[in-house]
Amino acid sequence: MQKGLFFLLFLISISSCKPQKKQMKSSKYTYTNLLIHESSPYLLQHAHNPVNWHPWGKKALEEAKRENKLLIISIGYAACHWCHVMEHESFEDTAVANVMNQYYVPVKVDREEHPDVDKIYMSAVQQLTGRGGWPLNVVALPDGRPVWGGTYFPKENWKSALEQIAKMWKEEPGKLLEAARSLEEGIKAGEIVKNNDAPLDFDKKIIEKSLDFWKRYKDPVFGGFRRAPKFPMPTQYRYLLRAGVQLQDREILDFVQLTLNKMQEGGIYDHINGGFARYSVDTKWHIPHFEKMLYDNGQLVSLYADAYLVFNKKSYKSTVENILKFVENELTDKTGAFYSSLDADSLNKEGELEEGAYYIFTKDEIKKAVGEDYPLFKKYYNINDYGLWEKGKYHLIKKGGDSLFAKENGISIEILKEKVENWKRALKELRSKRSRPRLDDKSLTSWNAIMLNGFIDAYKVFGNPHYLDIALKNARFLKKQQFKEDGGLWHAYKNGKSSIKAYLEDYAWLAKAYINLYEATGEEDWLETAKSLVIYAEKHFKDKNTGMFYFVHNQSSDLIVRPMETGDNVIPSSNSVMAENLFRLGHFYENRDWLYQSAKMIHNILPQIEKYPPGNYYWLNGLLDHLSRFYEIAIIGPEANRKVEELFSRYIPNKIVAWSEISSVLPLLKDRFVNNETYIYLCVDNTCQLPERDIKNMLKQIKWQLD
């Protein structure tokens, strides 16, 4: 082990040691907190701390270099419960603040505004500790290179560690410089993607082996993995759904259905207002950290909509409807923009911030709200040991579906549904008298695009025109507000102002959403806009050597390394989404270069995929595209819209759809318009069957299984 890494391990131990009796003296310090000028709700939460907080940027780095001070880089987000805990314990404490101000340049970062910064310092902390999370707290050299860090620290441990590191910087700076060098090497190594020089030949066995991984670690009782905490990972289960269908794997399909059932029955799902929390802390999906994130709910809509097509389960449709009601009511701006999140914490009866205070109930509160129906309510939502959270408070959780419950309790399903709606109204009324969770009302281009995809997918599956209206309003907002004159994008929007140069995730997700919107509407401008976004990304983000894409623009310069995001997490990686866009646009525009580039990107990631499939599930989804008989469905003529609606009522994951009611120059539609006729063309690599007039006849020719 290198000398620098020995020192890093020593520094890690500081975070868990008892405070030393001998401490560095800290003088009184007049503070100037610069966050008051920011728009981020998270930064504004810290704007009155007695800490000399700087926002991320050149000014903070220049000050650190000028004064030869170490940086404290503290990263979190507005809905983060433990971020609030550390703020209250440490950043609001004047003694802690004096140490931070005297010896450091403190920088506060909203990870949602600056995912680039978060990725670099999260990589450092994961190297140091083997884990990550938020709040993320790092000490770095004046040039930004990290030397020490972790997540949440109790006040005395945090203060003691900062004093010892400051002493080290003054007396033995060489040790910190060596630690920074070692960490920097590790961070840079983690960002390298090598060209895969093996022959470009994809094998179905890679998919089969990936499914074996999930089978080994699945929870057979509650779904998900056999561990806690449990995250919904919606697009991961969307991949498993598709793979289960295309490989005809009943075990995987049963696992997906079990997981979806247990999630929508659990407390991670808000049975009263709709929407899902970010994750549950237990194995049965019961008690979440109560924050609700836009990106989770957008992906969950797409997952449950697909699952409805596969399993024809009415409760999945209800779950989609309730998520979308929640988003429309609580996370949608009048401009059509979607807000980012709702906080985990809200004010309790004592006027103090408490996690989950808005969501939980006592028995007496429930009895008063639902009246004589309480015995039935108690059974339905488990107001018992199974549903108990803590201190006599309950969080609602179900066991099984409504049909079984109605049968076991001797009532009709119709009466049960009526009662459930009455209970929800009563508990909504009770909640309306409580302090609401704090809202993060900034809008992010990438997250808006994820939610936009959710509304479009729901419209495709269920045909509700209201969903399309909301989707179009959001899509037009993004096109009007978030596009720059040079064709690039802004990342964030708040209070009428767009800001922060966009990241690859913004280009990837918005292009994906506009492709999806074209399929839903037949309006070719959306497809052309998606194409322009990909072309812009190729110019400013692409690594010409590997064909992969960097996370940040080629004109970004504030970072110690240019990150390249390839691992799929709760949100698929921006590179795997961009590979999908290249594949689909390659088919729409008959662009062989894009089709090859998509395949080459997946090929480069194959070693990573085989090592850990769950961390590369969207690459696996892309691999399915290349392994499948992929269909280009072209529908043209005055009845095209109606036939497209019929097509979208079927689960066909291996397709794109081009359609128009009038003549079109789009390659898949060009020279195919015939007056007063509507024709359906089923093509593979632009080789088409004879045209059909009937969707049902065309569907008989589709094969979605892998060979």
* Burial per residue of 311-327, b for 16 or more beta-carbon CB atoms within 10 angstroms, e otherwise: bebebbbbbbbbbbebb
Q: In b/e form, how buried is each residue of 401-412, taking b as 16+ CB within 10 angstroms? A: ebeebbeeeeee
* Res 11: pLDDT: 53
- How far is it, in rounded angstroms, from Cα 693 to Cα 687? 18
Tokens of 182: 């070692």
547 φ/ψ angles, rounded to the nearest 5 degrees? 85, 0
- The confidence band for 703, taking pLDDT boundaries of 50, 70 and 90, is confident
The pair of three-digit structure tokens given for residue 35, joined into one six-digit string: 């966050």
Indicate left, alpha or beta for 463 from its phi (over 0: left) and psi (-120 to 50: alpha): left
Distances (CA, A) of 92 to 14, 86, 121: 22, 9, 23
**Which CATH fold topology does 3-190 show?**
Glutaredoxin (3.40.30)
Closest CA to 307 of 267, 252, 253: 253
Q: What is the torsional sign of CA 492, 191, 208, 262?
A: negative
pLDDT confidence of 368, banded at 50, 70, 90?
Answer: very high
- Find the mean pLDDT for residues 647-657: 97
- Locus of tokens 């991961």: 236
Q: How far apart are CA 366 and CA 559, in angstroms?
A: 52
d(CA 597, CA 3): 42
Position 102 scores a pLDDT of 95
Write out pLDDT tens, residues 682-695: 999 889 999 999 99
Cα–Cα dist 11/98, whole Å: 21
Dihedral of CA atoms 688, 689, 692, 697 in degrees, nearest 10, equals -130
Alpha helices in 336-464 (DSSP H): 363-370, 374-380, 402-408, 413-432, 445-462
Q: What are phi and psi of 450, to 5 degrees?
A: -65, -45
CATH code for the structural domain at 204-225+314-340+441-623: 1.50.10.10
Do residues 457 and 301 lie in contact, with contact meaning Cβ atoms separated by under 8 Å? yes
Q: Is the pLDDT of residue 27 over 80?
A: no
Q: Give the other-Cβ count within 10 Å of 120's Cβ.
A: 26
Q: Which residues pair with 105 in a beta bridge?
A: 71
The pLDDT of residue 25 = 41
pLDDT of residue 19: 38
Residue 9 has pLDDT above 80, yes or no: no
CATH 1.50.10.10 residue spans of the chain: 204-225+314-340+441-623
Mean pLDDT, the chain, rounded, equals 93
C-alpha distance from residue 448 to each of 9, 216, 332, 498, 667 (Å): 40, 35, 10, 14, 30
Instruction: Give the 3-state secondary structure of residue 609.
Output: helix
* Closest listed residue to residue 353, CA positions, set 408, 252, 285, 434: 434
pTM metric for this prediction: 0.94
- Say yes or no to pLDDT of 606 above 70: yes
φ, ψ of residue 643 to 5 degrees: the values are -70, -35
pLDDT at 393 over 50: yes
542's enclosing H/E stretch is: none
Q: In what order do the strands lie in the sheet with 146-150?
A: 54-55, 104-110, 70-76, 136-140, 146-150
C-alpha distance across the termini of the chain, in Å: 49
693-700 long-range contacts (CB < 8 A, ≥24 apart) are 695/643, 695/646, 695/647, 698/633, 699/647, 699/650
Residue 422 backbone phi and psi in degrees, to 5 = -65, -40
CATH 3.40.30.10 spans which residues of the chain?
Answer: 3-190
pLDDT in tens, 143-181: 999 999 999 999 999 999 999 999 999 999 999 999 999
Quick one: pLDDT band at residue 556, thresholds 50, 70, 90? confident
What is the mean predicted confidence (pLDDT) over 255-280?
Answer: 97
Quick one: which of 611, 337, 618 has its CA closest to 490? 337
Beta bridge partners of residue 104, listed in sequence order: 70
Locate all alpha helices (DSSP H) within 69-203, ordered by sequence. Answer: 81-86, 94-103, 115-129, 155-171, 173-190
Question: How far apart are alpha carbons 600 and 605 in whole angstroms?
Answer: 9
List of residues 6+ apart from 345 with CB closer than 8 A = 81, 84, 290, 353, 354, 355, 357, 437, 438
Sequence-distant (≥ 6) Cβ neighbours of residue 57 within 8 angstroms: 558
Helical H segments across 463-560, by residue range: 465-481, 504-521, 524-541
Complete edge-to-edge strand list for the sheet that includes strand 292-293: 292-293, 341-342, 439-440
Residue 82 CB contacts under 8 Å (≥ 6 apart), including other chains: 133, 134, 135, 151, 152
Percentage of residues in the chain having pLDDT higher than 70:
95
The rounded distance, in Å, linking the Cα atoms of 703 and 707 is 10
* Helix (H/G/I), strand (E/B), else coil: 129: helix
Check whether 549 has a pLDDT greater than 90. Answer: yes
Whose tokens are 């983060």? That residue is 80
Closest among 125, 8, 2 to 73, alpha carbons compared: 125
pLDDT at 22 over 50: no
Neighbour-count burial of 294, counting CB atoms closer than 10 A to its CB (0-12 exposed, 13-18 middle, 19+ buried): buried
Which of 158-191 are b and which e, b meaning 16 or more Cβ less than 10 Å from the residue's Cβ? bbbbbbbbbebbeeeeebbebbbebbbebbeebb
- Give a three-class secondary structure readout of 342-360: ECCEEECCCCCEEECCCCC
- In angstroms, the CA 575 to CA 549 distance is 6
pLDDT of res. 23: 40
| pLDDT (0 to 100) of residue 28 | 52
- Kindly calculate the radius of gyration of the chain based on its CA atoms and give it in whole angstroms: 27
Query: Does the pLDDT value for residue 230 go beyond 90?
Result: yes
Q: Is pLDDT at 327 greater than 90 in this prediction?
A: yes
pLDDT of residue 29: 52
pLDDT(486) > 80: yes
CB atoms within 10 A of CB 566: 22
Q: Is residue 297 a contact partner of residue 275, using CB atoms and an 8 Å limit?
A: yes
Tokens of 382: 């488990």
